[in-house]
Amino acid sequence: MSAVAELVERTRAFVTEHVYPVEREVVAGGRVTDDALRLDLQKKAKEAGVFGPLSDPRYGGLGLDTRGQAQVLEAAGASLLGPLAVNAWAPDDGNIHLLAHVADAEQQERYLAPLASGEVRSAIALTEPAPGAGSDPRMLRTVAHETDDGWVINGAKHFTTGANGAAFTICVAMTTDGPTMFLVDQDNPGLRVGRRMPTLDHTSAPGGHCEVEFVDCEVPDAAVLGEVGRGLELAQVRLAPSRLVFCMNWLGLAVRAQQLTVEHITRRSAFGVPIAEHGIAQGLVADNEIDIAAARSLVRTVAETVDVCGPASPQARHETSVAKTFVSEAVWRVLDRAVQLHGGLGVCEDHLVARFLVEARAFRIYEGPSEVLRWSIARRVLRGPR
């Protein structure tokens, strides 16, 4: 057995033993996914040797390439809380990658080290209320003005995942030289975290999706992440891996839903025979298996592209757009069929698949809505080979 295959088995065992019971407490028992829960699960993940599939070994991580991550995160993704337990959930997954590739040595020590080791959480503030930036980041309205002492940031953001309780936020703001990323400590008096927005997905993200304001927020020159004016360009380093990590995690949940469904329809009878013996049920099971197999193949193929060509390469950007579009919709189909095959119990959160479906709905929107990704995919195709 290869090292990655052995790690996959250990991750499955860890999720089954430690994460499934907590997941049920959260989904059906009303337990809140907070930092105390996160830290407890991550402590157990470290003890089991499955913590940090996205992190460098110097931060206690596993040092996996993208191809290895694809297998391990599918195993972790079998639970809504699995990726959080191994420190591979948004927005920290993308921020770990971004800081590892863009931050200078001092920033890596101050921000990346505690984030990659699970000591803290982070947030990234890009999306804004209308008419500000959403799917089109060029509509950015938050501004940063240079001063003798550094920068002053003003603007409003929303859907800032994890903002409540984060140690720091990466803010994207417009400067005279163009969009720029800034590292803002959470105790900065100019950073104001507002309400937690009441979104469909609320089980797996400590800190929720929040409204955030930057009001005369003063930061030093050392807070600039990367280079002034290159914020959106440098953010591409984060985008492709983040999209693919989402695909890996949610694919794992689709596989779990298929397993739960097979168990249910094998035990449950209707019209004199187990539901599993009805042809129409078998058709839905087969369609699920086809979607899962196609999604898995696509994820692993694109993971190889990211490793070989680099996360910011045009090829990686194109293929992760394709993967994110297909996998998000395939996962939705699998989860919807799982609910249908559970019958009335499928809409009861006691049986988990109802919560799986609701939590997964946003996957077709964040990190690029399917419609926007289709538009960008088509534009690249129509431009022809380069």
78, 96, 116 - which closes a domain: 116
Number of domains in the chain: 3
Do residue 255 and residue 112 come from a single domain?
Answer: no
Q: What is the mean pLDDT of residues 363-367?
A: 94
Look up residue 318 and give its two tokens: 């194109």
Range(s) of the domain holding residue 221: 122-229
Do residue 375 and residue 311 come from a single domain?
Answer: yes
Do residue 167 and residue 78 come from a single domain?
Answer: no
Angle 136-183-309 from CA coordinates, rounded to 5°: 60
Do residue 15 and residue 137 come from a single domain?
Answer: no
Is the pLDDT reported for residue 19 higher than 80? yes
C-alpha dist (Å) from residue 196 to 56, 156, 165, 221, 272:
32, 14, 11, 30, 49
Alpha carbons 195 and 214: distance in angstroms, whole number: 14
Q: The domain that contains 64 carries what CATH number?
A: 1.10.540.10
**pLDDT confidence of residue 204:** 82
Residue spans of alpha helices (H) in the chain:
3-14, 20-29, 35-48, 66-76, 82-85, 92-102, 105-107, 113-116, 231-267, 279-309, 314-341, 353-360, 370-383
76, 92, 116 - which closes a domain: 116
Question: pLDDT > 90: what percent of the chain?
Answer: 93
Residue with the larger pLDDT of the pair 29 and 218: 218
Q: How confident is the model at residue 235 (pLDDT cuts 50, 70, 90)?
A: confident
Q: The domain that contains 351 carries what CATH number?
A: 1.20.140.10
Do residue 130 and residue 225 come from a single domain?
Answer: yes
Is the pLDDT reported for residue 81 higher than 80? yes
Alpha carbons 12 and 70: distance in angstroms, whole number: 14
Do residue 252 and residue 289 come from a single domain?
Answer: yes
Mean pLDDT computed over every residue of the chain: 96
**pLDDT per residue as tens digits for the range 246-269:** 999 999 999 999 999 999 999 999
Q: The domain that contains 218 carries what CATH number?
A: 2.40.110.10
Do residue 249 and residue 378 come from a single domain?
Answer: yes
**pLDDT per residue as tens digits for the range 178-193:** 999 999 999 999 999 9
Look up residue 43 and give its two tokens: 């402590």
**pLDDT per residue as tens digits for the range 197-225:** 999 998 888 999 999 999 999 999 999 99
Do residue 224 and residue 272 come from a single domain?
Answer: no
Look up residue 383 and give its two tokens: 């431009």
Do residue 80 and residue 133 come from a single domain?
Answer: no
C-alpha dist (Å) from residue 354 to 77, 173, 201:
16, 38, 12
C-alpha dist (Å) from residue 26 to 86, 161, 173, 349, 350:
17, 19, 36, 10, 11
Alpha carbons 325 and 257: distance in angstroms, whole number: 20
Q: How confident is the model at residue 77 (pLDDT cuts 50, 70, 90)?
A: very high
Do residue 371 and residue 246 come from a single domain?
Answer: yes
SS3 118: coil
Q: How confident is the model at residue 386 (pLDDT cuts 50, 70, 90)?
A: low
Residue type, 378: A
**pLDDT per residue as tens digits for the range 313-359:** 999 999 999 999 999 999 999 999 999 999 999 999 989 999 999 99
Do residue 206 and residue 243 come from a single domain?
Answer: no
185, 211, 229 - which closes a domain: 229
- As a three-state string, the secondary structure of 327-370 is HHHHHHHHHHHHHHHCHHHHHCHHHCHHHHHHHHHHHHCCCCCH
Give the global pTM: 0.95
Q: What is the mean pLDDT of residues 95-109?
A: 97
Q: How confident is the model at residue 45 (pLDDT cuts 50, 70, 90)?
A: very high
At which residue do the structure tokens 């990367």 appear?
A: 226
**pLDDT confidence of residue 385:** 66
* Strand bridging mode 191-196 / 178-185: unpaired
Do residue 126 and residue 187 come from a single domain?
Answer: yes
* Strand bridging mode 191-196 / 150-161: unpaired
